[in-house]
Chain A
Amino acid sequence: MFGYVIRRLIAAIPIALGVSMVCFALVFLAPGDPVQTLLPPDADAETVARLKALYGLDRPIVVQYFDWLWRVAGGDFGRSIANGRPVIEEIQRSLGNTVLLAGLSVLIAFSIAFVLGVIAGRKSGTWLDRLVTGVAVLGVSIPNYWLAIVLVIIFSVEMMILPSSGTAGDTFDPTSWDHIRYLILPVITLSMIPVGIIARTTRSAVSEVMNQEFVVTLRANGLPEWRVLKHAIKNALPPVLAVMGLQFGTLMGGSILVETVYAWPGSGYLLSKAILTRDVPVLQGTILVLAMIFVVTNLAVDLFQSTLDPRIRRG
């Protein structure tokens, strides 16, 4: 098991290299320029050239890449071109905000979706199933930025009971209502993203398992229905967990729209800002960290799966 984890972690290194290389190349291939943000729109060419030299952006891309890589290997992510702050600090702060948001959303989404999926799967073919499937399709189809705006209109603008955007502006304090209230709308919005897909996966997994012979055997042995369900769920879990893992990864990096509408200072927001300003160090650092989170989440899911299901246990 330990060897397996180590091997998987080592396998993450080429992924990280690949991701960072592609990202670096894309930034330089796209039109636009990182020093643009530093300069007033009317700066002359000579100023641009001098500034590029001061930031080392006039060197060949390959040299810049390896220089960046070397420093990252030593734990130095550099400084943001746009605001001069250390990249690692920017990532820590925004990632903290996103983990809070994504973590809570995941908890809510997974619980709701799982319960819905199990109900639908067990009652497969009934009106209850169709209702759950309908809700799931709705959940997948509603654009989350639209839902975000609608929630803001209802709860912030009309009822004025929840703030429309931002954070309380300090380190999050889970005991303070003043802090929690800022989280409610973004968490609800974000949790709608994975509900549909997880409910559907759970439904198909459960209904498939319910038709298997061991379920018939269990019932024939006179096990109460709730214990039958327990066995069935355990067997249906692996594919559901895999999807959940992927969805968590998506929420970590894919909440750009929700974070923008709510002006929530998370990693998606940071990423979109970095893209618009071609802030290469921030972009590279954030993408690298997000890629690693994705890798680690998948690994954790795999390990969890193999613990649950001996059939897919690895060496």
Chain B
Amino acid sequence: MTTRRLATLAAGFALLATLAAPPARAQETVLRVAMTAGDIPLTAGIPDQGFEGWRFVGYNLYDALVSWDLSRGDVAADIKPGLAERWEIDPNNNRRWLFHIRRGVKFHDGSPLTAADIVWNFHRFTLESAPQFNARQFAFARAYLGNYESIEQVDEFTVAITTKQPDSLLPYNMSFLMMVSPRRSAEVNNDADAFARNPSGTGPYRFSRMVPGERLELVRNAEYWDEARRPRHDRLVLLPMPEASTRTAALLSGQVDWIEAPAPDAIPRLRSSRMQIVTAPYPHNWSYQLNFVDGPFSDVRVRRAANHALNRADFRELLGGVAIESFATLPPSTPYYGNPVRYEYDPARARALLREAGCLPCRVTLAISTSGSGQMQPLPMNELVKAQMEAAGFQVTLQTMDWNALLQMGREGRERHQGVNGINISRSLQDPFNGMFRFVWSRQAAPAGSNWGHYRSPEMDALIDRALSTFDPAARLAILRQVHEKMSEDAVMLWVVHDLNPRAMSPRVRGFVQAQSWFQDLTPITIAPR
């Protein structure tokens, strides 16, 4: 009796297992990615969902005038030609950039790309009276077009972009502006939602299907203009999965091949299941922007004291090794890192500095979030910051809020939050403007820009102006290094760690090179058969 029951049970399990096995597919190779986003990034041009949206949707469906070179893992990624095959500053006008459009590029709907399409797209971002104007694209583009004045078509394959001030870094900003097909947009009467459901760009993948909120499927664009970047797999499936443990389980159960940002404590478990864990430094830092007007951090000695108070190695340990110590704004692999002052862990020195500044114990309030893009593990990390600062003579109050609320505080600036001495917002630092200038330039003082705590230094402003009007890259690099070094000398932030951006993938995923960037190139990936 018992034997028979057992046999039935076994048969039942066997049946279940057979049924559970995925149905055999044709030879189509599929890469399935679990993203941290809560929804599918917008498919109608410039994506939402932070840089993850750019990484998986933006740069796959679309191209910008300028691309990122993501083919190497050993140096910080820099820009390279995209839809523009070259660009130069007008020799007679240092506010006018000329972009020469690549010939022979076709949108996914088959229509050819010309300079007129670039102008049409810029009007989509900026010109409220244009029929294709799109409020959301305006909002996204705006961060990169702060210095933009106008665009004109010079000939069939050249456009000229004029800036308000000389801007040697404009090509970096161009890399964020995705070019969509005007023909497809006309077909749907410029309705952005309809366009998002059937988008057409020039990128290495074409749109295949989308279940809103659940999955986006892209297929290889066999006619992509850059032959070296034609995808080596047939289909890319993108799944939003905001829960780290859900993503980990999905990878371990074979439901996806690739997950973004596994929780650090899951990494040993993933390794033991032969999953590949890849990490690389990239332009990110987990830090605090400080208040330079109200409270103790207006004194540089207090800012230095805070930086000496942290034992950054402990944070790396807390994060299971997927971070590196941050002693300055940018990671050391950045070309313009220079030779900044290094604030080593020295609690005695910190205490001495506080005594000198007449602030002991030194009461500070830090605004933090419970989660958020790039915020890593905000609660335990902030607790550790608090403990270490307090051991060196500070008295720290953590003011906790959700991500949306912290972003709003970040945007409003110190004026509306004079009781707050620092805010913990991780920022993307992918180019000199976003990585440095916006935090320390007086013109960027919040709410006009990202200089939250109103740092002001005529010397810094002069350096930035010089960098922006220096069009020779080598000469500019020297100035950029000075900016970075001065940021450290003035201890403009409280630096903690740089994320190493862990991602985990199945052993079947081959050929991926992790670039030192927020963006990654998925096209070289092949999927080994089971």
Closest residue on chain A to residue B412 by CB atoms? A45
A213 on the B face (CB < 8 A): no
* Given A31-B405, A42-B143, A86-B193: 20 more A-B contacts, CB < 8 Å: A32-B404, A32-B405, A32-B407, A36-B408, A38-B48, A39-B142, A45-B447, A51-B135, A51-B138, A84-B44, A157-B249, A163-B253, A164-B246, A164-B250, A169-B211, A169-B214, A260-B246, A261-B245, A273-B38, A276-B404
Considering only residues 351-382 of chain B, those with a C-beta below 8 Å from chain A are 373
A270 to B240 alpha-carbon distance, docked (Å):
13
- Interface-lining segment among A61-69, A128-136, A148-156, A190-198: A148-156
**Contact: A85 with B246, CB < 8 Å?**
no
B425 on the A face (CB < 8 A): yes
Q: What residues of B have a CB within 8 angstroms of the CB of A123 in the complex?
A: none
B276 on the A face (CB < 8 A): no
Given contact pairs A41-B425, A161-B16, A265-B214, A149 touches B138 in the complex (Cβ within 8 A): no
- Interface-lining segment among B17-25, B291-299, B477-485: B17-25
**Contact: B408 with A164, CB < 8 Å?**
no
Residue-wise, chain A 37-76 has the 8 Å CB interface mask toward B (1 for contact) of: 1111111111110110011000000000000000000000
- Point out residues on A near B: beta carbons under 8 Å: 30-33, 35-48, 50-51, 54-55, 79, 82-86, 89-90, 93-94, 149, 152-153, 156-157, 160-167, 169-170, 177-178, 181, 260-263, 265, 270, 273, 276-278
**Contact: A39 with B213, CB < 8 Å?**
no
Considering only residues 432-486 of chain B, those with a C-beta below 8 Å from chain A are 434, 438, 446-450
Q: What residues of B have a CB within 8 angstroms of the CB of A48 in the complex?
A: 411
Q: Return the contact of A90 from the options B19, B213, B241 (Cβ within 8 A).
A: B213
B509 on the A face (CB < 8 A): no
Given contact pairs A42-B438, A261-B243, A79 touches B193 in the complex (Cβ within 8 A): yes
Q: What residues of A have a CB within 8 angstroms of the CB of B213 in the complex?
A: 90, 93-94, 265, 270
Closest residue on chain A to residue B140 by CB atoms? A40
**Contact: A164 with B411, CB < 8 Å?**
no
B278 on the A face (CB < 8 A): no
- Point out residues on B near A: beta carbons under 8 Å: 16-17, 19-20, 22-23, 38-39, 42, 44, 48, 50, 135-136, 138-140, 142-143, 146, 192-193, 196, 211-215, 239-243, 245-246, 249-250, 252-255, 373, 401-405, 407-412, 425, 427, 434, 438, 446-450
Q: What residues of A have a CB within 8 angstroms of the CB of B253 in the complex?
A: 152, 156-157, 160, 162-164
A84 to B253 alpha-carbon distance, docked (Å):
34
**How far, in Å, is A38 (CB) from chain B's closest CB?**
5
**How far, in Å, is A130 (CB) from chain B's closest CB?**
28
Closest residue on chain A to residue B144 by CB atoms? A40
**Contact: A44 with B16, CB < 8 Å?**
no
A153 to B450 alpha-carbon distance, docked (Å):
43
Closest residue on chain A to residue B373 by CB atoms? A41
**How far, in Å, is B2 (CB) from chain A's closest CB?**
23
**How far, in Å, is B144 (CB) from chain A's closest CB?**
9
**Contact: B211 with A156, CB < 8 Å?**
no
**Contact: A165 with B407, CB < 8 Å?**
no
Q: Return the contact of B249 from the options A39, A156, A169 (Cβ within 8 A).
A: A156
Closest residue on chain A to residue B17 by CB atoms? A161
**How far, in Å, is B141 (CB) from chain A's closest CB?**
10
Q: What residues of A have a CB within 8 angstroms of the CB of B243 in the complex?
A: 260-261, 263
**How far, in Å, is B398 (CB) from chain A's closest CB?**
16
**How far, in Å, is A283 (CB) from chain B's closest CB?**
13
Given contact pairs A41-B410, A51-B139, A85-B212, A33 touches B193 in the complex (Cβ within 8 A): no
**How far, in Å, is A274 (CB) from chain B's closest CB?**
10
A299 to B435 alpha-carbon distance, docked (Å):
59
Give the interface centre of A36, A90, A93 by most chain B CB atoms within 10 Å.
A36
Q: What residues of B have a CB within 8 angstroms of the CB of A153 in the complex?
A: 249
A92 to B221 alpha-carbon distance, docked (Å):
33
Closest residue on chain B to residue A157 by CB atoms? B252
Q: What residues of A have a CB within 8 angstroms of the CB of B405 in the complex?
A: 30-32
Given contact pairs A51-B135, A51-B139, A164-B250, A263 touches B39 in the complex (Cβ within 8 A): no
**How far, in Å, is A305 (CB) from chain B's closest CB?**
37
Closest residue on chain A to residue B245 by CB atoms? A149
**How far, in Å, is A298 (CB) from chain B's closest CB?**
29
A306 to B415 alpha-carbon distance, docked (Å):
62
A157 to B135 alpha-carbon distance, docked (Å):
44
A33 to B139 alpha-carbon distance, docked (Å):
14
**Contact: A181 with B20, CB < 8 Å?**
yes
A204 to B210 alpha-carbon distance, docked (Å):
50
Q: Return the contact of A165 from the options B138, B250, B403 (Cβ within 8 A).
A: B250
**Contact: B404 with A33, CB < 8 Å?**
yes
